Amino acid sequence: MLNVSRLHVSYGESEVLHGLDFKVAPNEIIAIMGRNGMGKTTLMKSLMGIVPTKSGTVSVGATDITRFKSYERVKNGVAYVPQGRMIFSTMTVQENIETGLIPRGESRVPPDIYELFPVLLEMKGRRGGNLSGGQQQQLAIARALATAPKVLLLDEPTEGIQPSIIREMARTLKRIRDERGLSIVVSEQVLSFALDIADRVLVIENGEIVHENLRAEVDEAKVARFLSV
């Protein structure tokens, strides 16, 4: 579904991603792991068209989206849950989700979104800024799902979230994969969460993929070494 080939990304003269290659199948979750500053957020932003691609290609299904602007990527099935969630704090929960419906020309929040996140239905009239961190994370995922994506990108979704909510998020993401057949890319530093949800684990270091394994074959100690400072 998502196909990234020889992706190079730079900020001005300084190249940060040095030719990444990976594919994500429908119904697959991959975790991109790496320490701070290794390029995870840059990868997410470049897949979303927020940071320009220097060279290489990104495609979704048969469509090459490398030169697409962010809104065109959304229309072609890419959705993004940014680091820090970035929900609209003065808008209500429902209004936040509705922003995800705009690209499709829809106005009604599909009931299956509230079914995935019942707490958001209870709180649909509350301002986003008044939600807890875990609820805001659910809202950011709901808003992304409202665009009816084929590919869902999540940048460090566990950051600032308490352990019990992290386990619930893992269950929900696996349910989303299974029920909707999505390709999900999660950037992460928390190994236990990545091992819980991922079908495949990739490690990024200094803008290159230095390690890759199927979940069943992951050498936990080896991946942990990549993550330790």
Ligand X SMILES: Nc1ncnc2c1ncn2[C@@H]1O[C@H](COP(=O)(O)OP(=O)(O)OP(=O)(O)O)[C@@H](O)[C@H]1O
Binding interface with ligand X (CB under 6 A): 11, 16, 34, 36-42, 83
Dump the DSSP string for 100-164: TTGGGT--SPPHHHHHH-HHHHHTTTSBGGGS-HHHHHHHHHHHHHTT--SEEEEESTTTT--HH
Q: Which is nearer to ligand X, 35 or 180 (CB)?
A: 35
Minimum CB separation from ligand X for residue 156, in Å? 6
Q: How far apart are CA 214 and CA 91, in angstroms?
A: 41
Q: Which is nearer to ligand X, 76 or 187 (CB)?
A: 187
Helix (H, G, I), strand (E, B) or coil at 40: helix
Minimum CB separation from ligand X for residue 92, in Å? 29
Q: How far apart are CA 5 and CA 41, in angstroms?
A: 18
Q: Which is nearer to ligand X, 164 or 228 (CB)?
A: 228
Minimum CB separation from ligand X for residue 43, in Å? 7
Q: Which is nearer to ligand X, 18 or 174 (CB)?
A: 18
Minimum CB separation from ligand X for residue 125, in Å? 33
